[in-house]
Amino acid sequence: NRIEGLMYHTIVLTNEMRAHRFISSLHSRPALASENIKSLCLCGTVQLATAAEVVQLCSSVDSLALWILPEGDNHVVPDVLLLALNGLPLLQLSIQLSTVFRRTPRPFLPSIPMFHKVTHLELLEGWVVWGFPIGIPCLTQLTHISLQVFTSWTTPILLQMILSDCVLLRVLVLHVTEDVGRVERWLREHEGLDDPRIVVTAKSPRDNWDRVACDGMSLWQYGDYITSYRNTTQICTID
C-alpha cells in the first residue's frame, strides 16, 4: 500500500546485524522489498555475502550507495554481488569500486552492465582519475558525475576527456580534502577545466546521503542548484 511504499522507499543499513534483521523481516514478504525499495545504502560493517542477499531482495532499486569494503580472501562472493548489481535498474550509483573489483585493479566500466543505464555516478576512490583510464568518458549517457580529486595525483587530461566526451554532462562534482580555493585555482591553471559545470565541495558523500534520508538537498540537487545559479548569473550579466 501507499504507506508501506513511503516507509520502505529509502533503506540505510550500516552494519551486519541490521542487515541480517532486515533480511529476516522480509523473508515472508519478499514483494515488500522488490516493489517498494527504490533507494538503498549499504555501508559500515555489512559483509559482502549479506550485501548480495540484500541487493537480490531489493531488485527494483534505482538509487544505490555501496560503501562497504571486502574482507578476507574469498573472491567468489564479489562475483555473486556483481551478478546481483548487474540485474538492478540503476539510475544513480555511488560506489567504492574496490568493493566489487578487488581482483581487478583497473576495471573498464563500459564493459560492466550495472553502469550502462546509470545517469548519476559517484566514484569514491581518487585513483580512478590518477592516470590509467577506466572508461568514464565512454559512459556518454551520464548527466551527473562525482569524483574524488587530489591536485597532486589527479590527471587533468582525464577530467578534460570527461567534460568533452560525456556529451550529456550537466554537473561534475569534485570532492576534495584540500582547501577548496586551492583546488579551484588548480582547475583554472589547466585548459578546459575552468568549466561552469564543475562544482568543488569539501562535503563528504555520507553528508549528502544523510540529507537525502532526511528529505534534504541531495548531492545532485546541490550540483544542479550551483550550475543553474551560475548560468542565470551569466545570462543576467550578458543582458
**218 vs 13, higher pLDDT:** 13
C-alpha 145, offset from chain centre = 8
Spatial CA neighbour of 129 closest among 103, 102, 157: 157
Q: Compute the chain's Rg from CA coordinates.
A: 19
Taking the whole predicted model, whether its pTM rises above 0.85 is answered as: yes
In degrees and rounded to multiples of 5, residue 134 shows phi and psi of -115, 10
> Rounded mean pLDDT of 115-123?
96
pLDDT for 74 beyond 70: no
Looking at residue 27, what is its pLDDT? Answer: 83
Cα distances (angstroms) measured from residue 219 to each of 52, 53, 109, 121, 138:
26, 27, 22, 11, 23
> Rounded mean pLDDT of 71-83?
70
pLDDT for 206 beyond 90: no
DSSP labels for 92-115?
A: EEEE-GGGT-TT-SS--GGGSGGG
DSSP structural state of residue 186: H
DSSP structural state of residue 7: H
Model confidence at 236, pLDDT cuts 50, 70, 90, reads: very low
**39 vs 205, higher pLDDT:** 39
Spatial CA neighbour of 57 closest among 8, 103, 129, 93: 8
Rounded Cα gap, residues 17 and 15, in angstroms: 6
Looking at residue 61, what is its pLDDT? Answer: 96
pLDDT by residue (tens digit) across 127-149? 999 988 899 999 999 999 999 99
In degrees and rounded to multiples of 5, residue 220 shows phi and psi of -70, -40
Rounded Cα gap, residues 12 and 231, in angstroms: 35
Spatial CA neighbour of 172 closest among 98, 230, 88: 230
